[in-house]
Amino acid sequence: MLTIVEDTFTEGRHDLQKGMCSRKRFEMVAQGQSKRVFAEGLDINPKNAEEIPDHGCWENLSSAVEPWNIPPDDVPSPFNIFQCMRIDPDTGIMYDTMIRPKEETHIDFRAEMDLLVAASACPESGRGQAIRVEIYDE
């Protein structure tokens, strides 16, 4: 569907394992029903209702595809660009890392067919950064 033609993210790797954040996921973490573990030993998880973001990537993507009548439950697992994860080979625990791309870092794709593509700049519990998406028609 897509071919990566250039990828300058040399500081880390892209993720295909984790899935996406959501308000519900953040609520579960704040209530102690789920965990988000960071490789650097950081704990930047919401601790109470006031720290829970009002949306996550799931809400962003669900809203983006709504005009095409795609129900939220049909939004597929994402390709988490610039989301560098670490998986402990002994325990299988997946850790978020704080590895982030440099400002000039980019990834270029070529569409191999007509596609509907949605993007979400992860809110990261209020620490999210803006992204730039450019689409070229060759």
b or e along 20-44 (b: 16 or more beta carbons within 10 Å of the residue's beta carbon)? bbbeebbebbbeeeeebeebeeeee
Task: Give per-residue pLDDT as tens, 86-105.
Answer: 888 998 888 888 888 888 99
Q: Is the pLDDT of residue 123 over 80?
A: no
| For residue 1, pLDDT beyond 90 | yes
Residue in 66, 60, 65 with CA at minimum distance from that of residue 20: 60
Quickly state the pLDDT bin for 127 (edges 50, 70, 90): low
And the tokens for 96? 């978020």
Residue bearing tokens 């993007």:
119
- Overall average pLDDT of the 19-46 stretch: 76
**Overall average pLDDT of the 17-32 stretch:** 83
pLDDT value at 19 more than 70: yes
Q: Indicate the pLDDT class of residue 70, thresholds 50, 70 and 90.
A: very high
Q: How far apart are the first and last CA of the chain?
A: 16
Asked if 60 and 4 count as a contact pair (C-beta separation under 8 A), the reply is no
Q: Mean pLDDT in the chain?
A: 86
- Which amino acid is present at 71? P
Q: pLDDT over 70 for what percent of the chain?
A: 88
Spatial distance between the Cα atoms of 37 and 110, rounded to a whole number of angstroms: 34
Global pTM? 0.80
**Structure letter (DSSP) for residue 52:** S
| Other Cβ atoms within 10 Å of 51 Cβ, number | 14
| pLDDT tens track for 42-65 | 666 667 777 777 888 999 999 999
